[in-house]
Structure 1
Amino acid sequence: MRLRRALPLGHTALVNSALVVLLAGGGTWAYFMISGDAEPAQGSTVRTVAVARGTVTATVTADGSIESANTMSADFTTGGTVTAIKVKVGDRVKKGAVLATVDATEVAESLSTAERNLDAARDALDRAEDGGDDSAIANAGNQVDQAESAVAAAQRAVDGTVLKAPMAGTVVAINGAVGGSSGGSSGGGNGSSSTSASSGFMQLADLTKLQVAAAVAEADATRLKTGQTATVAWNALTGATATGRVSAISPTATSGNTVTYPIEVLLETIPDGTRLGQTVSLTVTVDEVADAVYVPAAAVRTAGGRTTVVVVSNGAQEIRAVVIGLKGDSYTVIVSGLDVGEQVVLATVTTGTGNQQQFPGGPPGGFTGGGFGGSTGGRTGGGGR
């Protein structure tokens, strides 16, 4: 059996001491990388920016399309063969204007018959009243009431052969042709209101009141309120923008692979060239702080419940605790801890081997990477989480 030669006592102590140093150094580096409390190494080139004062905003963005805020579907209440269409798509009409007609021959005859029956019922009532018989008078009176109801129904049928505009607006669709069937409607009235008319013989829209229809993610929907201001940019109209306000937020999510909530934004201005159905980009301001002290979000780090920034003064770097307010789209409000004009370091992320995260001034403790297991660890804290 071969005996393993033991190291001299002095060599063993030297090796153990080296291991202790390495372990201590690696543990200290790992602690600083996690806690974010390390003092940055001096002498490295870093990006800095001055603390500023101004307005910080948070927004929600979405894609949408232009639609009318007021549309109606107009349909005949009496079915029949279409005899005339008096408008075309694109025509602007006043409320009550005649849009189309159907053949009224049969219903007109029914009205004439009902009117003759009413005359006969009234004559019968006159004779009963002359006779003085209360029972006969009551019966004749009922006959008059029924005849009057029949006349009213026949008159409505005749009126239903003429399609009139239920609102002032622009004709945006005609779903029929002369000689075809009107279809008719089983309900009363000549038009029905709809936020997106898609049925009926004709559709009318008010093109002076337009809105954006969009859908936002559920996380964004919780940040929206009616009345919030919005900016709209047209995809097909170069440089065209408009302002608006959130007018409706659906309480019910749409079905699909992702949960979204429909919203509507009423436009306050309408650029030239705007058409129904055009696609737009929508930006809604959900929060805003004016006259605020702020820094870029990339300058703020949060770890272990503590929020800090790295301040540079006279070439030296200092980690300073701060209290933050609104986390905007690009900037974070500083409630306390910084003064306007101070220089703060922007955290950056490199794309080198291993996608290493870069600390301002280099890794804590002067380590240049590697460590145990080859991981840099650490946190950049960018984005003002």
Structure 2
Amino acid sequence: MPVRLRPAWLVNGLLVAALAGGGLWVYSSFAPADASDAGTAGGLTRTVAVSRGTVTATVSATGAVRSASTATASFGTSGTVKTIAVAVGTKVAKGTTLATIDDTAAKRQLAAAEDDLDAANDALDRASDAKGDTSAAQSQVDQAERDVDAARDAVAGTVLKAPMAGTVTAVNGTLGGPSSGSSSSSGGTSRSSTSTSSTTTTTTGSGFVTIEDLGHLEVAATVAEADATKLRKGQSATVTWNALPDARSDATLTAVDPTATTSGDVVTYGATLSLAKLPTGVRAGQTVQVSVVVGKVEDAVTVISAAVTGSGARHTVTVDQNGQHVTRDVQVGLEGGQTTQITSGLDVGEQVVITIPTGSGGGTQTGNQPGGGFRFPGGGGFTGGGATGGGFRGGTGGRQGAGR
């Protein structure tokens, strides 16, 4: 008697057959002609040709966008805040009045100092007319003049003026409160430090008003201790934004902090980068990823970095010689993220062997991270290789599967 299949079983069987056939078609259709894949006890192997090209080494870091110029302005005189003429977001020109304090006491002290100076001058005149010793009277005049200058500065210090043009990003005080302010909201590092009779701009600490030049932004990045030694002023970099997926800007390394910052056992150095162009939507405070080019060699003999093993002065590769895998010593130059420069031991066109470990989680360039893979410049690559994220992924001509 004919066996009746349930519809669900029939559909599932057809799906399994279609997936298996599709996988075989993808594998056979997109295999690069100049490379071969094989299985070994340690995993999948592939041969890749030694080529000539550019090797680039980079240092990656995280950072944040900030104003390239920031100043904190503080009153030069203590007192009670009388007026505040700006708010957060206000754009100001240099010299704009930001706030004032009650100047009654300061003006009273100035008037008293001026009266003392008049009296000292009168005493000096009398001593001169008497043809006596005038040194004591002259000293009193000199001191009275200094007191008048200080009192005038105190009066001027009751008016807080903008030390630079920019946008107000913090107002750390309230009407009726003390002129010293109450908190700090500085968003960057001041590029200038000036002091006048009415305004003091400092590089650290809190001020009554913080002003930033939001038209000129830069990136402040944190670099690992081992990578900081590779950084040099003037190196080119690329900046990408976490909040703006399509934003990208060329940058230049302008400074590396001379001293480190230590947090627990982690030692890092600060780095500053100038941006060539501000993408649309960029704001101070946004987080970014930075990639600084620390080395570049053009027209070099190159091989994919995954093919090179060893460290220090000894490096080896496995070469495919007529189907036989032979270990060979090589000398390496610049070691990039994807490719490595070979200075001796290999010729362009030779085939080197790469082994991709198999097992749970697949691999990355080191073959041990879930969902990762090997990418081969111009010749495709392996992605995954295990139960998660498995398959083959090429750069230009590789194979990609859905895993299993």
TM-score clears 0.5 = yes
CA shift for structure 1 position 191: 2.5
Partner of 1:348: 356
Moved more, 265-274 or 74-83: 265-274
1:301 pairs with 2:333: no
Partner of 1:267: 275
1:79-132 Cα deviation digits (max 9, x unpaired): 112111122222232222211111101111111121122222223322332232
CA shift for structure 1 position 309: 2.9
Match of 2:75, SS state, is coil
Q: Counterparts of 1:277-356 in structure 2 under 5 Å?
A: 277-302=285-310, 307-312=315-320, 318-351=326-359
Whether the aligned pair in 1 keeps the contact of 2:231 and 2:256 (CA below 8 Å) is no
Q: Structure 2: how far apart are the matches of 1:143 and 1:184? A: 37
Paired residue for 2:171, among 166, 171, 174? 174
Whether the aligned pair in 1 keeps the contact of 2:173 and 2:180 (CA below 8 Å) is no
Match of 2:142, SS state, is helix
1:227-282 Cα deviation digits (max 9, x unpaired): 32221111112211222233123422323242222332233332232222111111
Q: Structure 1: how far apart are the matches of 2:135 and 2:181? A: 38
Partner of 2:106: 107
Q: Structure 2: how far apart are the matches of 1:303 and 1:279? A: 35
Q: Structure 2: how far apart are the matches of 1:233 and 1:184? A: 37
Paired residue for 1:235, among 242, 251, 269? 242
Match of 2:261, SS state, is coil
Partner of 2:157: 160
Q: Structure 1: how far apart are the matches of 2:116 and 2:181? A: 27
Q: Structure 2: how far apart are the matches of 1:54 and 1:314? A: 25
Question: TM-score, normalization: structure 1?
Answer: 0.72
Partner of 1:210: 217
Partner of 1:220: 227
CA shift for structure 1 position 162: 0.5
1:97 pairs with 2:96: yes
Q: Structure 1: how far apart are the matches of 2:356 and 2:177? A: 70
Q: Structure 1: how far apart are the matches of 2:360 and 2:118? A: 99
Whether the aligned pair in 2 keeps the contact of 1:289 and 1:326 (CA below 8 Å) is yes
1:111 to 1:319, Cα distance in 2 relative to 1, 3 A: same
Partner of 1:54: 53
Whether the aligned pair in 2 keeps the contact of 1:78 and 1:184 (CA below 8 Å) is no
Matching residue's letter, 2:245: T
Q: Counterparts of 1:241-252 in structure 2 under 5 Å?
A: 241-246=248-253, 247-252=255-260
Matching residue's letter, 2:232: K
Gaps of 5+ in 2: 1-37, 183-193, 368-404
1:173-195 Cα deviation digits (max 9, x unpaired): 1011222221289x97522332x
Match of 1:47, SS state, is strand
Q: Structure 1: how far apart are the matches of 2:311 and 2:261? A: 35
CA shift for structure 1 position 317: 5.0
1:9-41 Cα deviation digits (max 9, x unpaired): xxxxxxxxxxxxxxxxxxxxxxxxxxxxxxxxx
Partner of 2:139: 142
Q: Structure 2: how far apart are the matches of 1:74 and 1:111? A: 24
Moved more, 211-220 or 299-308: 299-308
What is the percent sequence identity of the aligned residues?
51
Partner of 1:375: none
Whether the aligned pair in 2 keeps the contact of 1:254 and 1:262 (CA below 8 Å) is no
Q: Structure 1: how far apart are the matches of 2:62 and 2:114? A: 59
Q: Structure 2: how far apart are the matches of 1:94 and 1:305? A: 60
CA shift for structure 1 position 139: 2.8
Whether the aligned pair in 2 keeps the contact of 1:229 and 1:244 (CA below 8 Å) is yes
Q: Structure 1: how far apart are the matches of 2:306 and 2:178? A: 66
Give the CA RMSD over aligned residues.
3.1
Whether the aligned pair in 1 keeps the contact of 2:78 and 2:180 (CA below 8 Å) is yes
* Structure number with bigger Rg: 1
Whether the aligned pair in 1 keeps the contact of 2:173 and 2:181 (CA below 8 Å) is no
1:53 to 1:198, Cα distance in 2 relative to 1, 3 A: farther
CA shift for structure 1 position 315: 5.3
- Quick one: higher RCO (CA 8 Å, sep 6+), 1 or 2? 1
Aligned pairs, how many?
A: 310
Q: Structure 2: how far apart are the matches of 1:325 and 1:258? A: 29
CA shift for structure 1 position 314: 6.0
Question: TM-score, normalization: structure 2?
Answer: 0.69
Structure richer in helix, relative to its length:
1
Match of 2:122, SS state, is helix
Q: Structure 2: how far apart are the matches of 1:81 and 1:300? A: 70
